[in-house]
Amino acid sequence: MGSDEWTRVECPICNQVAGEFEPFGLKPRLNARCPTCGSLERHRLIWLYLVNETDLFSSRPKRMLHFAPEPALRGKFADHLSIDYVTADLAPGNAMLEMDIADIQLPDESFDVVYCSHVLEHVPDDRKAMRELLRVLRPGGWAILQVPMFGEETDEDPAVTDPAERLARFGQQDHLRAYGRDYPQRLSDAGFVVTVDRYPARLGQDLIARFRLTREDVHYCRKPLAGGTGGFVERVPVRVSAPGPRRQP
């Protein structure tokens, strides 16, 4: 079935099927937000990635840190028996721990998994935040670190503080920069081994339309084993054959 013929949408997180999703955003995007769980395009993409491409929901026990936890996802992580789940947020009352991502008050090498989506563009010293996320991961542990990306080179200027100028230049009033295609280099500089996965291209247009997914690359960042250094690889966009989630956690 071609994408033009698809007349329903489906949320892979809560399994809601609808004619279309709700509009969402400052300049509302049509068909964006799941009316049942509140998921947006980027949440549904990451959900499929976590289910199909990582070991997050395997039976092996693991400790997970989730920054700025999204309501559509946090319950899924919290309820999973093999995940010892910790949430953190800069704002009081949003998470289990109130914490600055650039100054994480947790021990070294205490997590197997970190998930942090659309946070780093709000953080003044994002390079320090990346090093902090690396520090709390165990060697061999992995993080999904997503940001909105525009253009080629990251555009940032601490002198830009006017909300209207930030909106125009960085895409949102509280964004401090607009990341470009050099973003994975920044993660690599912090010490991660980064895989830039063109996951939406691998899923293909039919699944993008069916689940209404963002086309963001997935940044899968592994902490090297002792003595290893950062680096990055781009995964070739080979189309996956699976028609959706392989298993529902």
Number of residues that bind Zn ion (CB under 5 A): 8
Among 24, 29, 36, 237, binds Zn ion (CB under 5 A): 36
Among 32, 34, 40, 113, binds Zn ion (CB under 5 A): 34
d(CA 74, CA 161): 32
The type of residue at 191 is G
158: burial class by Cβ within 10 Å (0-12, 13-18, 19+)? exposed
Residue count of the chain, please give it.
249
What's the token pair of residue 45?
Answer: 């993409």
Q: For Zn ion, give the closer residue by CB, 78 or 96.
A: 78
Q: Quick one: which segment of 1-9, 30-38, 193-201, 221-229 binds Zn ion (CB under 5 A)?
A: 30-38
Q: For Zn ion, give the closer residue by CB, 39 or 52.
A: 39
Task: Give 90-116 as a DSSP string.
Answer: SSTTSSSEE-BTTB--S-TT-EEEEEE
Q: Quick one: which segment of 18-26, 32-40, 128-136, 203-211 binds Zn ion (CB under 5 A)?
A: 32-40
| Range 6-25, binding Zn ion (CB under 5 A) | 11, 13-14, 16
User: Shortest Cβ distance from residue 72 to Zn ion (Å)?
Assistant: 6
User: Shortest Cβ distance from residue 16 to Zn ion (Å)?
Assistant: 5
What's the token pair of residue 121?
Answer: 């563009």
User: Shortest Cβ distance from residue 93 to Zn ion (Å)?
Assistant: 24
User: Shortest Cβ distance from residue 11 to Zn ion (Å)?
Assistant: 3
Among 9, 10, 39, 137, binds Zn ion (CB under 5 A): 39
Q: For Zn ion, give the closer residue by CB, 39 or 87.
A: 39
User: Shortest Cβ distance from residue 224 to Zn ion (Å)?
Assistant: 36
Q: Quick one: which segment of 22-30, 39-47, 164-172, 211-219 binds Zn ion (CB under 5 A)?
A: 39-47
Q: For Zn ion, give the closer residue by CB, 53 or 70.
A: 70
User: Shortest Cβ distance from residue 13 to Zn ion (Å)?
Assistant: 5
Residue 240 half-sphere exposure toward CB, CA atoms < 13 A: 20
Strands (E) across the chain are located at 9-10, 17-18, 22-24, 29-33, 62-67, 83-89, 97-98, 111-117, 137-146, 155-156, 177-178, 193-197, 218-222, 231-235
Pick from 186, 111, 106: nearest CA to 141: 111
Can you give the binding site for Zn ion, defined by CB under 5 A? 11, 13-14, 16, 34, 36-37, 39
